[in-house]
Structure 1
């Protein structure tokens, strides 16, 4: 077992948590719990222009609903706090200055207009402008590598806008290790000098991320594949500071249902499935985006489904509870290639977990969703749920599968009516009424024994009795066992429904 495992999930509060973010949080959580480690939540809100109110609470609620709560973070076990980067901004300047002092970073005073000019000039020549070793000291750019110390200080004293850039090395080869992708080799000549710090006092993601991971003693950085291009810079920053780097693991992309391209919110809108764990209302537009919780998915189903997006246990087993996932999880079994998002597969998981839910708890949720059930005994509803849930994927399916337990048919399916009702059907059903009336011990067993016995002794085709009987009770040829329905609605209601069917049809 790896010692002192500390992992972090570090989302930006710029909108609702995407399903890909939940998958990243889950894999961090599973890894931490597998190694008796700590799962840290850090809010990376250095980009205040993109900050969206309410997002942080949304993220925390989503993690809690998924049963993967953080061990340490905002408001909880704040051993290394604060855990919002906006509250840590006083920390980063000293580290940026340290890189300036060591010669691993430099001040750049280029304006946006000047940089745009260089980009367009390169484009016209069929080239791509990269701010790095091949142009940073040639006088075309305005930075402390070409300015004298006095000129640089004068600009700083004058309050000119600047950024601090990392000085990427020339003619070096980096040999990096990723726990999922193995060995990675990078030529430093292709790297640009990334901005680490801005004159507004805020660090960029790259500096803040590295400093916080170091100060919070993060042992493993498990994040999405989109951060793979940043690995070289982050590794070099650890080297520049003289710190031991954590181990890195970059998770595969979650792909569209077609298998081509990264899954986006538009895919969910287009194909009718959520891409967020909880419903989200945009504070600016009031537009509402669907969530898995509100769409009737169980958190266990979503977690089981997400675990298989990029990870494979190496066995035939597909159903895992959280404890089983923790025991089975291994980063070595995470795939490099993207994982296709299959909306039907998560429904399959949800159907499975529907069967495992407690009938009484399902009944309470069912009752709360239907005002027509508010006065009906919850234990009766639970018995109904137990009879029909095997056909249900969502709680919202229960009414369509069970309405006839709560109200008599108001109409009869025309196709079923033509199939079930013949010239002698009324006489047959009248005899069924007589049989039902004679049954004193009104149980499923007695109903089955007496009605089937009467059918057999009179040499009647079972379909001639059971089809019209089901239609009389339900209004359609659907539902669980007919004798279960009769028992549940009771003798008087059974007779009443059969009589009404005879009269109507």
Structure 2
């Protein structure tokens, strides 16, 4: 049983580690950047700039079956469009690279061997068919379905036999079955999980030698000296597993802040990652769709900054520099936030009307070029 939030975050909690923050945006290039991901990147960027820290871009591409070069380019283009410059990343380098996970495979192998040697992880040789059969048996008995930790105590002889037959293996984390794991979130306060109800020994290293998200994110955040993890609320349930991994290594876990879920305009469901029709109106979801529709980055910056955080009750228009000066994690509202698209339309109109004639001409040139079949140079001549 997960115990609900026990205490509210203290406004001073984010100052436990004073000084410049090192934060990261770590997307998986398996799909195009959507508005929720852009908001997560923006809040990380704002906090880095507010603390005179660093904003790191890391590409989590270990899911090679779904990896897409187009998605990677789309993500980076979307961040640049909004003006979210990164201090370290795959294209600009930095002292803690590589910043693409598949280029760090040898490093992950070194650290997984450390966990195995210390008894915090072990090799599991169950095949996909065996796992499927186990779930069918559990289903028939009406018990919880999933891995049952059976490979935790394999003998040396059993391991040798599996290796001799060439059976592939994964590496699993030893998750305690007693006690609790407690997380203090800078936005949501304290949450406690009973360890017996956590996932049973999740996989850390796949049979192809690549790490799972849980393992790679912990190793990378530690080695890249990340101080604060700002990510979507959907990752809160993964946090106790991450804390157990940190504990197994003897490392200190960065401070965590799980951002509120973004709801669709109706406020009745999580924002879709694709176009959605609500009350007969089609709403965009992907960042490149907003770019192609003519929304200005200034308007989007202003709009997303106020989704889950409020600049000022009396002001709706502000500059990025003003938001940077005021941005505090303690001021983020943990409640889900609906997307008021009509506010974005209004903001976009404000920023368009504020453009000087020459600047407006430059902004609309790409759209006229596509519509009229003329080059931008011809239009601007």
User: In the TM superposition, what is the alpha-carbon distance from 1:268 to its structure 2 partner?
Assistant: 3.4
| C-alpha distance 76-376 of structure 1, shift in aligned 2 (>3 A) | closer
Aligned partners of 1:179, 1:45: CA distance in 2, in Å? Answer: 28
After superposition, the C-alpha distances for 1:44-70 in whole angstroms (9 at most, x for unaligned) are 000100111222222111111101111
Look up the match of 1:225.
233
Aligned partners of 1:377, 1:188: CA distance in 2, in Å? Answer: 65
Aligned partners of 2:49, 2:130: CA distance in 1, in Å? Answer: 50
Look up the match of 1:347.
345
Look up the match of 1:188.
195
Aligned partners of 1:118, 1:83: CA distance in 2, in Å? Answer: 38
Residue 273 of structure 2, aligned match among 265, 287, 292 = 265
How many residues align structurally?
358
Look up the match of 2:301.
303
| C-alpha distance 202-263 of structure 1, shift in aligned 2 (>3 A) | same
Look up the match of 1:169.
176
Structure-to-structure mapping, 1:406-485, within 5 angstroms: none
Look up the match of 2:259.
251
Note if contact 1:314-1:333 (Cα within 8 Å) is conserved in structure 2.
Answer: no
For normalisation by structure 2, the TM-score amounts to 0.88
Aligned partners of 1:55, 1:8: CA distance in 2, in Å? Answer: 18
Look up the match of 1:23.
39
After superposition, the C-alpha distances for 1:149-177 in whole angstroms (9 at most, x for unaligned) are 23213423543111111111022112210
Note if contact 2:93-2:99 (Cα within 8 Å) is conserved in structure 1.
Answer: no
Note if contact 2:263-2:339 (Cα within 8 Å) is conserved in structure 1.
Answer: yes
User: In the TM superposition, what is the alpha-carbon distance from 1:127 to its structure 2 partner?
Assistant: 2.2
Note if contact 1:109-1:161 (Cα within 8 Å) is conserved in structure 2.
Answer: yes
Q: Does 1:33 align with 2:49?
A: yes
Note if contact 2:134-2:146 (Cα within 8 Å) is conserved in structure 1.
Answer: no
| C-alpha distance 75-375 of structure 1, shift in aligned 2 (>3 A) | closer
Aligned partners of 2:262, 2:307: CA distance in 1, in Å? Answer: 7
Residue 124 of structure 1, aligned match among 140, 143, 156 = 140
SS across alignment from 1:357? coil
User: In the TM superposition, what is the alpha-carbon distance from 1:371 to its structure 2 partner?
Assistant: 4.8
| C-alpha distance 90-348 of structure 1, shift in aligned 2 (>3 A) | same
Aligned partners of 1:267, 1:124: CA distance in 2, in Å? Answer: 40
Aligned partners of 2:321, 2:332: CA distance in 1, in Å? Answer: 18
Look up the match of 1:274.
284
User: In the TM superposition, what is the alpha-carbon distance from 1:372 to its structure 2 partner?
Assistant: 11
Instruction: Structure 1: give runs of 5+ residues left out of the alignment.
Output: 279-290, 380-505
Residue 81 of structure 1, aligned match among 89, 97, 103 = 97
User: In the TM superposition, what is the alpha-carbon distance from 1:40 to its structure 2 partner?
Assistant: 0.3
Higher strand share: 2
Considering Cα pairs closer than 8 Å and 6+ residues apart, tell me whether 1 or 2 has the greater RCO.
2
Q: Does 1:213 align with 2:221?
A: yes
Look up the match of 1:153.
160
Q: Quick check: 203-212 or 258-267, which moved more?
A: 258-267
Look up the match of 2:28.
12
For normalisation by structure 1, the TM-score amounts to 0.67
Look up the match of 2:118.
102
Look up the match of 1:499.
none
| C-alpha distance 367-254 of structure 1, shift in aligned 2 (>3 A) | closer
User: In the TM superposition, what is the alpha-carbon distance from 1:11 to its structure 2 partner?
Assistant: 0.2
Look up the match of 2:59.
43
SS across alignment from 1:45? coil
Note if contact 2:59-2:101 (Cα within 8 Å) is conserved in structure 1.
Answer: yes
Look up the match of 1:362.
360
User: In the TM superposition, what is the alpha-carbon distance from 1:13 to its structure 2 partner?
Assistant: 0.7
Aligned partners of 1:188, 1:354: CA distance in 2, in Å? Answer: 54
Q: Does 1:179 align with 2:186?
A: yes
User: In the TM superposition, what is the alpha-carbon distance from 1:94 to its structure 2 partner?
Assistant: 1.6
Residue 247 of structure 2, aligned match among 239, 246, 249 = 239
SS across alignment from 2:182? strand
Q: Quick check: 40-49 or 109-118, which moved more?
A: 109-118
SS across alignment from 1:88? helix
Note if contact 1:8-1:42 (Cα within 8 Å) is conserved in structure 2.
Answer: yes
Aligned partners of 1:85, 1:363: CA distance in 2, in Å? Answer: 42
User: In the TM superposition, what is the alpha-carbon distance from 1:72 to its structure 2 partner?
Assistant: 0.6
Aligned partners of 1:30, 1:375: CA distance in 2, in Å? Answer: 36
SS across alignment from 2:123? strand
Note if contact 1:360-1:378 (Cα within 8 Å) is conserved in structure 2.
Answer: no
After superposition, the C-alpha distances for 1:240-292 in whole angstroms (9 at most, x for unaligned) are 100111000111111111111211134436632321222xxxxxxxxxxxx11
